[in-house]
């Protein structure tokens, strides 16, 4: 009895720790509170070992035995719903409610059956197996599926199989005919320990996945311009470097396009900063539409934008820049003022840094401004001074 009680206490503490950990992750990431669903699942699941621990003292054994079943089922089915929500599939609450009600009805139907019979244990364990199998299936259907997700899906499959196998072990080793006898049995020690270890492993993997997603979201926020949704200067530099290195390894030409909205200060002065922000958002959307697939676009600050083109020599970079310029000049939006854009284009030489190519593109952009704006200018060749061009 002491061994089973010890296992139950450990399971209660671990469930509480997981619930607290998921709450902490949610509070640390205010923009995404999906981790709270996992916390709620563990709080519900916590009622199961806690109820069995109370049964040890002979306090309303049938009531707390039923609460163990009700709470554990609720925790597992809510875990399936939490995973569906986390992976953006949206839990089908009608299906969750139906399965949970079916589990409760089946549990009520076997209330008078001998607890040590195979039939009782098969019906008793089936909802647990079904809920955990659903968890694994939901993860496998997720659009993003890394090594951790595959491991977690496989683990939930193992947990489901373990619930299916438990009735046979229960009848072989004996579970007693009442909840109190179950807690006192040697099988309870093995059952609670095995289930606890498997669910701890699932909890740790889930916590790792949720924390990984929170870190990735924080990184995206730090590297994204909040107004336009494009990469900011830091995000653009970080994303551009590996692409440039990969292109150089393949000896593919690369081009950088620097863009600056013309007379943007006049827009802010005449129409206000709110309209100016809308203009920036509109141009960012236009940039996404006109830049080719695979191009990397960012906002460098103010009204200045940048596009990195892999596998694009200078001539192709110029054509793309001209397409962007024409689309900007021809835009027709009654709510926004007419805008144009000046553009500098530089092909990145094999012997120069990205920063040097940006400087050449900036010089070309400045020349486009001085020549009357609303035009595309090509940068000087790498190593050639502006005065020699």
Greatest distance between any 2 Cα atoms in the chain: 97
Q: What is the mean pLDDT of residues 21-46?
A: 88
- The larger pLDDT score, comparing residue 373 to residue 213, is at 373
Domain check: are 173 and 269 in the same one? no
Catalytic one of 213, 278, 303, 347: 303
pLDDT at 383: 65
- Are 305 and 285 in contact by the 8 Å Cβ rule? The answer is no
- Among 171-185, 191-205, 234-248, 294-308, which is the least confidently predicted range? 171-185
Q: What is the mean pLDDT of residues 193-202?
A: 90
How many domains are contained in the chain? 2
Q: Which residue has the tokens 């900011």?
A: 232
pLDDT at 1: 45
303 is known as an active-site residue? yes
Cα 343 to Cα 246: distance, rounded to the nearest angstrom? 26
270 lies in some domain? yes
247 lies in some domain? yes
- Are 301 and 280 in contact by the 8 Å Cβ rule? The answer is no
Q: Which residue has the tokens 């863009």?
A: 259
Cα 132 to Cα 239: distance, rounded to the nearest angstrom? 38
- Are 327 and 290 in contact by the 8 Å Cβ rule? The answer is yes
Question: Which residues have CB under 8 Å from 127's CB, separation 6+?
Answer: 73, 76, 99, 102, 103, 106, 107
For residue 111, give both structure tokens: 């209330």
192 lies in some domain? yes
Q: What is the mean pLDDT of residues 123-137?
A: 95
Q: What is the mean pLDDT of residues 39-57?
A: 84
228 lies in some domain? no
- Are 308 and 253 in contact by the 8 Å Cβ rule? The answer is no
- Are 113 and 81 in contact by the 8 Å Cβ rule? The answer is no
168 lies in some domain? yes
Q: What is the mean pLDDT of residues 100-114?
A: 89
Domain boundary among 177, 194, 222: 222
The CATH number of whichever domain residue 242 belongs to comes to: 3.30.70.270
- The larger pLDDT score, comparing residue 323 to residue 331, is at 323
Cα 259 to Cα 281: distance, rounded to the nearest angstrom? 14
Domain check: are 285 and 165 in the same one? no
Is residue 199 scored above 50 in pLDDT?
Answer: yes
Domain boundary among 182, 199, 222: 222
Domain check: are 240 and 202 in the same one? no
Is residue 132 scored above 80 in pLDDT?
Answer: yes
pLDDT at 250: 92
Domain check: are 208 and 338 in the same one? no
CA 381 to the chain's CA centroid: 43
Residue 110 sits at the vertex; the CA angle it makes with 200 and 120, to the nearest 5 degrees, is 60
Q: Which residue has the tokens 């719903």?
A: 81
Q: What range defines the domain where residue 193 resides? A: 2-222
Q: What is the mean pLDDT of residues 12-38?
A: 88
Is residue 133 scored above 90 in pLDDT?
Answer: yes
202 lies in some domain? yes
Domain check: are 187 and 273 in the same one? no
Is residue 210 scored above 70 in pLDDT?
Answer: yes
Q: How confident is the model at residue 8 (pLDDT cuts 50, 70, 90)?
A: confident
Domain check: are 168 and 247 in the same one? no
Q: What is the pTM of this model?
A: 0.73
pLDDT at 114: 85
Q: Which candidate, 176, 209, 213, places its Cα nearest to that of 191?
A: 176
Is residue 94 scored above 70 in pLDDT?
Answer: yes
Domain check: are 213 and 241 in the same one? no
Domain check: are 12 and 75 in the same one? yes
Q: Cα-Cα-Cα-Cα dihedral of 24, 29, 32, 33, to 10°?
A: 20
Cα 121 to Cα 179: distance, rounded to the nearest angstrom? 13
Domain check: are 212 and 241 in the same one? no
Domain check: are 50 and 69 in the same one? yes
pLDDT at 24: 92
227 lies in some domain? no
Q: Per mean pLDDT, which of 4-8, 167-171, 179-183, 340-344 is the most reliable?
A: 340-344
Cα 330 to Cα 145: distance, rounded to the nearest angstrom? 42
Domain check: are 186 and 328 in the same one? no
For the purposes of burial, counting CB atoms within 10 Å of the CB of 389, is it exposed (0-12), middle (13-18) or buried (19 or more)?
Answer: exposed
3-state SS, one letter per residue, for 344-379: EEEECCCCCCHHHHHHHHHHHHHHHHHCCCCCEEEC
Cα 75 to Cα 38: distance, rounded to the nearest angstrom? 9
Domain check: are 264 and 297 in the same one? yes
Domain boundary among 222, 246, 271: 222
The CATH number of whichever domain residue 172 belongs to comes to: 1.20.1070.10
- Are 309 and 295 in contact by the 8 Å Cβ rule? The answer is yes
pLDDT at 360: 96
How does pLDDT run across 350-380, given as a tens digit for each residue? 889 999 999 999 999 999 999 999 999 999 8
Quote the mean pLDDT of the chain.
89
178 lies in some domain? yes
């Amino acid at each position: 009895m002491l061994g089973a009680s010890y296992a139950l206490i450990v399971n209660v503490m671990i469930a509480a720790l997981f619930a607290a950990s998921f709450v902490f992750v949610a509070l640390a990431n205010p923009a995404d509170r999906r981790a709270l669903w996992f916390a709620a699942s563990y709080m519900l699941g916590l009622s199961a070992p806690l109820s069995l621990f109370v049964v040890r003292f002979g306090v309303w054994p049938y009531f707390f035995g039923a609460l163990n079943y009700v709470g554990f089922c609720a925790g597992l089915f809510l875990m399936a719903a939490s995973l569906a929500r986390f992976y953006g599939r949206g839990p089908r609450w009608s299906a969750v409610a139906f399965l949970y009600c079916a589990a409760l009805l089946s549990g009520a139907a076997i209330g008078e059956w001998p607890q040590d019979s195979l039939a009782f244990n098969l019906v008793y364990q089936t909802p647990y197996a079904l809920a955990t199998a659903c968890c694994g299936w939901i993860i496998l259907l997720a659009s993003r599926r890394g090594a951790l997700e595959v491991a977690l899906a496989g683990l939930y499959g193992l947990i489901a199989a373990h619930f299916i196998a438990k009735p046979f072990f229960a009848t072989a080793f004996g579970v007693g005919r009442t909840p109190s006898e179950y807690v006192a049995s040697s099988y309870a020690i093995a059952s609670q320990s095995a289930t606890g270890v498997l669910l701890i492993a699932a909890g740790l993997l889930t916590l790792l996945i949720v924390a990984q997603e929170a870190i990735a979201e924080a990184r995206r926020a730090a590297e994204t311009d909040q107004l336009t949704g494009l990469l900011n200067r830091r995000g653009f530099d970080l994303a551009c470097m590996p692409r440039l290195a990969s292109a150089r390894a393949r000896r593919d030409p690369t081009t950088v396009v620097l863009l600056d909205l013309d007379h943007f200060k006049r827009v802010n002065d005449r129409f206000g900063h709110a309209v100016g922000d809308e203009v920036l958002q509109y141009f960012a959307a236009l940039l996404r539409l006109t830049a080719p697939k695979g191009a990397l676009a960012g906002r460098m600050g103010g009204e200045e934008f940048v596009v990195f083109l892999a596998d694009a020599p200078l001539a192709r970079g110029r054509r793309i820049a001209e397409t962007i310029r024409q689309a900007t000049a021809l835009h027709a939006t009654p709510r926004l003022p007419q805008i144009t854009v000046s553009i500098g284009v530089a092909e990145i030489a094999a012997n120069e840094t990205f920063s040097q190519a940006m400087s050449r593109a900036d010089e070309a952009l400045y020349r486009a401004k001085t020549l009357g704006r609303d035009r595309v200018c090509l940068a000087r060749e790498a190593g050639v001074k502006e005065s020699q061009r």
